[in-house]
A and B are shown apart, each in its own frame.
Chain A
Amino acid sequence: MGIIVQNISKSYNKIKAIDAISFEVKEGELFGLIGPDGAGKTTIFRILTTLLLANEGSASVAGFDVVKDYKAIRNSVGYMPGKFSLYQDLSVEENLKFFATIFGTTIEENYDLIKDIYIQIEPFKARRAGALSGGMKQKLALCCALIHKPKVLFLDEPTTGVDPVSRKEFWEMLKRLQEKGLTILVSTPYMDEAELCDRIALIQKGSILKIDKPANIIKDYHRIIYDVKAKNRHQLILDLKNYPSQYSVFAFGEYIHYIDKNENFSATDLDNYLRQNQHSEIEIRVTNPTIEDVFMDL
């Protein structure tokens, strides 16, 4: 009774936004759509929330068909679009009241579900939504999406442009909502958030590249990644890219993630090469892959 998507395709004019996508989200699951801008994530959300018709394929949400039963779906899902859907000129409290009224309910009736989140923005309840900081706007939008007690929650890039502290708090809220029985489909361009989902679909250019638990996706990755560090980072990137057997070179926080084409790669050889190129304070060591590494190699 979660979400079932079967061979959904959608084109805009001649451009295919999504191409024969299929996946299932189990009831009570926290499922992530992970992919960059333009991957087709928003199109999927709009089809599942009945705001857009697919060209091909079928889908159901909470047991309802997205075409035939669109009215039932609208009553049983909450949707937080990527661009804030709040009324900028209404206050925090007015926005919440407005959404409650539209769904024929009241703030009091479902207060339990939003309480944890709402008390954080309640001190600002008279402030116009347009004057809230990014973190607070996001919390208000989540409250508005929850006020009619939906069974399934759709969150399209809820944390884009949000600072790390607010992002962390937001994911803690999602976990608590999941514990209350909600099925959650969330999209994000932040690869570190992928690891917080039960299962994820890696999506790029309208196709799903992989669906699994984050830990399995990492486990299945077969290449060896080396952390490389030296004093001059920019020159290090350039020199690693010129190393004859390099497979990929990507900056990764404090280190550079280096992958070699050869199975019999020797770290000593690379170390010598870097020394010859006047590098100092060189460190080379094997490291664990992350979802981001896997994603960049798809």
Chain B
Amino acid sequence: MNKEKIIQVHNLTKQFGSFTAVNSISFDVYKGEIFGFLGANGAGKTTAMKMLIGISKPTSGEALVAGFDVKSNTEMVKRSIGYMSQKFSMYDDLTIKENITFFGGIYGLSRIQIKEKTAQLVEELGLEDAIGKLVGSLPLGWKQKLSFSVALLHEPKIVFLDEPTGGVDPITRRQFWEMIYAEANKGTTIFVTTHYMDEAEYCDRVSIMVEGVIEALDSPKNLKSKYNVVSMNDVFLKLARNVE
């Protein structure tokens, strides 16, 4: 793997009043890496991720994303990244084609580029017959695969995926991960959160957040041997037990 650092986080902190949601976390993510960002509900993952994508200002500390400061250069951060989450991905009452056109426009693609990208995306996902369908009528798995592709329209250096596979059926979940692998192979960095611990095994490295701090960060293999357990699920249970 290329050792170029694409995300550099140093003592990043976020406080809401007297509550410290993210407490001085530091880590690096390398170019082309699949980085799993794990933690229990309420551990501070979403808050940390919001700072990294430039929509929440850190209370203190620094983070460089694709070389840009998340405090002072949020516009460039946003241009360099793609983002998808389960909660918000695309507009249900627009068709597939309209969604692609809309997001392509938002990302600043030209009409010709949008046309090319639409054709390419439709072919890759085999959506030829569905292009005029409303996104709201698609099965969840299709929606998620499509919104992953839409998050990549502007060829970002890093893509942030917030629980992309929640509730998705087992086969589609695996197809989704094959898309992630293929994209990482092209050199795109993947920053992903998930509650499926088998998916944690698919990451190059994972971090586990507990109560605002990063409790562990290593490859799944090293974490399992460090905690002397057979699965990432057990690693997670050992670290995150008795919290909340």
Contact = CB atoms under 8 A, between A and B. Distances in A.
Interface of A: 35-38, 133-136, 157, 160-168, 189-191, 204, 233-234, 237, 250-254, 292, 295-296
A166 B201 CA distance: 20
Nearest to B204: A233
Dominant secondary structure of chain A at its interface with chain B: mixed
B22 interface: no
Contacts of B196: 190
Contact of B40 (A135, A160, A190, A252): A135
Nearest to A138: B41
5 contacts: A38-B140, A135-B40, A161-B86, A189-B168, A233-B202
A136 B53 CA distance: 27
B133 to A, nearest CB: 13
Interface in B212-231: 220, 231
A36 B41 contact: no
A296 B170 contact: yes
A251 B177 contact: yes
B198 interface: yes
A37 B139 contact: yes
Contacts of B170: 36, 191, 250, 292, 295-296
Nearest to A160: B167
A36 B237 CA distance: 25
Contacts of B40: 135, 163, 165-166
Nearest to B231: A253
A292 B196 CA distance: 13
Contacts of A250: 170-171, 174
A35 B236 CA distance: 25
A233 B181 contact: yes
B39 interface: yes
Given A38-B139, A161-B86, A133 B41 contact: yes
Nearest to B185: A234
Interface string B130-141: 000000000111
A191 B43 CA distance: 25
Contacts of B116: none
Contact of A157 (B167, B195, B244): B167
B230 to A, nearest CB: 9
Nearest to A35: B169
B141 A36 contact: yes
Given A189-B168, A296-B171, A162 B181 contact: no
Nearest to B230: A254
B244 A136 contact: yes
B167 A163 contact: no
B198 A252 contact: yes
B244 A164 contact: no
A189 B167 CA distance: 6
B106 interface: no
Contacts of B237: 164-165, 168
A251 B172 CA distance: 11
Contacts of B174: 250-251
A233 B202 CA distance: 8
Given A161-B167, A189-B168, 20 more contacts: A36-B170, A37-B140, A37-B141, A135-B40, A135-B42, A136-B42, A160-B167, A161-B86, A161-B166, A163-B39, A164-B237, A164-B240, A166-B41, A191-B170, A237-B181, A251-B174, A251-B202, A253-B232, A254-B231, A296-B171
Given A38-B139, A165-B40, A234-B181, A160 B171 contact: no
Contact of A164 (B86, B172, B195): B195
- Give the residue among A37, A161, A167, A237 with the most B Cβ atoms within 10 A: A37
Given A38-B139, A163-B40, A165-B40, A253 B244 contact: no
Given A133-B41, A162-B195, A36 B231 contact: no
